[in-house]
Structure 1
């Protein structure tokens, strides 16, 4: 069992962040964190002479444990704290992206406390399996996020050296569970992993790392989305987020006919966002190098890498059938060209 978490005095914690006196704070538990590592609460803050404020409080109290799974979870919350403290304000200012604004982010003797703006005020809708408009909204969000971090010379402070929660170094237990039906993927998994974490900074960005519908909210018209849960954001190819989004949150029948079109949509949105961040000349040069064929090679590598994880952990997601069929087809053709590209 983990340490017993003290009941937080929300009013005392929040008052320094508001000019008006706080009359009351009502907390409602929304969910427990994975593996019993804490809880998420919705807060309603009533201010004197002002409208109420809606916030989200994520209280992280890791278990007393050891081993690679525990270490991965603790590192993920440390990453999330650094993301909100060091990067979220600048990201929101530069891009206007739907991302929670940090109100209070601090370490405690038992873990971390995150108090964030409630995205559901502006983005009230959520979905399991995403439709065409929602997929494109998510890809637009990713394009802006990836453009902001595009080809930075070093991993931004505090973020994961390798973005995503399924990268091979921390998933050797799942790797050992891969059965005979995926033996050809298992045989090339280390080479794919090495290719995805190349030291060459070209085309590298920071990915969200857990880009699934459960971590997305949408505007009422479905044209814009917001994302949360930044525990696994860090360095990788941007299309790694797309491979996971497709496999987890897009219907396989839609992907059969639209996957290539979705990749083209992302490529165009990335070009537009890079022009906003870096200027038109720099964006034109970057996208001349990052041609659609390059993007698709990286995407196929990322898809194979994610299917490797599922093959050992368990197959799931609305796009899982499509992802596994595509992975089998790629393996049937051989992956040598992908590894060189």
Structure 2
């Protein structure tokens, strides 16, 4: 079956073949920012779901080659992992990739009128509680599941990764500080520089607790229905194996305002912990969960700084990264993570 390369290939004939149902007409509407690929809302006329979301590679062939690993990881999630966890994700109707060219296509459930979270505004405490339950649905079902280590293509960090990260992260921090020199508080500059001292060993620490880590679990990658009773997680390109609390820390440190995080974080960590227990997680007391949360907070500046360094600069993107860094550094100081 042909693996398409661009939106022009989303034809009625191709969709009829992959969906195994008659499609008479296709209408496309771009959605999202498309920084590492392209997304389209596909409206279908025929005997199929009325609308789908199509994810396709970046238009630039050079970018496709660089991003091939991220594309393969997302397809791996939908093909092999999504059905083994309970976190809400879009239903996948079709997933295919060409290993030679990194051309890929995902046809996913369209979840509208669910709305994307807003990283700048931050989420409500109610939404945060929903996200804690959802996150436990990723971590709990395969908590310390050694079969994860045998999945080809699912990355588990090594000593080499830790050394490489230590080399790359410190210059990226200085680039971030220079970029936001007139807007970054001196205390935040100091906190960011201090995170570079331990980032390599941190990546590999606490290996006795491991599981699936989304890697970028934040509001921009979550969709909420009008009543906020569920949260659907998207963008699985950064999926790895590691300390599960990295997702917990990253979300709470960057996706709530500082005031809301200070007020609600203990309740939210307890909510996450309670939900883990319902998935059969044992020998993980709440006190240890809280300690993992404090320890894992370096995930927040790490992903923020690297995302800024390698992402396409935009006005909103700059505002988002600065907001995330400010919230993350404040959390690290509040909880004395670096001491």
Question: Would you call these one fold, judging by a TM-score over 0.5?
Answer: yes
1:250/1:318 contact within 8 Å kept: no
- Structure 1 residue 240: deviation in Å? 0.8
Partner of 2:190: 181
2:115/2:225 contact within 8 Å kept: yes
Partner of 1:159: 154
Q: Deviations over 1:64-111 (max 9, x none)?
A: 559xx974x3211111111112222x23xx63x421222221124642
Q: Deviations over 1:91-141 (max 9, x none)?
A: 3xx63x4212222211246423333333424x6233312101111111111
1:304 to 295, 298, 321: 298
SS in 1 for 2:205: helix
Alignment of 1:234-313 (within 5 A): 234-272=240-278, 274-275=279-280, 283=281, 286=282, 289-308=283-302, 310=304
Alignment of 1:94-133 (within 5 A): 95=86, 97-108=87-98, 110-121=101-112, 124-128=114-118, 129-133=122-126
CA distance in 1, matches of 2:303, 2:20: 49
State the superposition RMSD in angstroms: 3.1
Partner of 1:191: 201
2:136 to 143, 148, 156: 143
CA distance in 2, matches of 1:159, 1:61: 22
1:149/1:205 contact within 8 Å kept: yes
CA distance in 1, matches of 2:200, 2:233: 30
Structure 2: 5+ residue runs without aligned partners?
A: 175-188, 310-319
- Structure 1 residue 330: deviation in Å? 5.1
Deviates more, 1:52-61 or 1:322-331: 322-331
Alignment of 1:2-21 (within 5 A): 5=6, 7-18=8-19, 20-21=21-22
SS in 1 for 2:331: helix
- Structure 1 residue 168: deviation in Å? 7.3
CA distance in 2, matches of 1:171, 1:132: 35
- Structure 1 residue 226: deviation in Å? 0.5
Partner of 1:339: none
Is residue 75 of structure 2 the alignment partner of residue 84 of structure 1?
no
SS in 1 for 2:42: strand
Deviates more, 1:292-301 or 1:173-182: 173-182
CA distance in 1, matches of 2:337, 2:220: 33
- Structure 1 residue 159: deviation in Å? 2.2
CA distance in 2, matches of 1:249, 1:239: 15
CA distance in 2, matches of 1:209, 1:24: 37
- Structure 1 residue 317: deviation in Å? 6.1
CA distance in 2, matches of 1:230, 1:115: 12
**What TM-score do you get using the length of structure 1 for normalisation?**
0.77
**What TM-score do you get using the length of structure 2 for normalisation?**
0.77
Partner of 2:185: none
Is residue 81 of structure 2 the alignment partner of residue 75 of structure 1?
no
Is residue 235 of structure 2 the alignment partner of residue 229 of structure 1?
yes
- Structure 1 residue 248: deviation in Å? 2.6
Compared CA separation, residues 331 and 79, structure 1 to 2 (3 A): same
1:203 to 209, 217, 222: 209
1:59/1:112 contact within 8 Å kept: yes
Query: How many positions carry a matched residue from both structures?
Result: 301
CA distance in 2, matches of 1:188, 1:203: 19
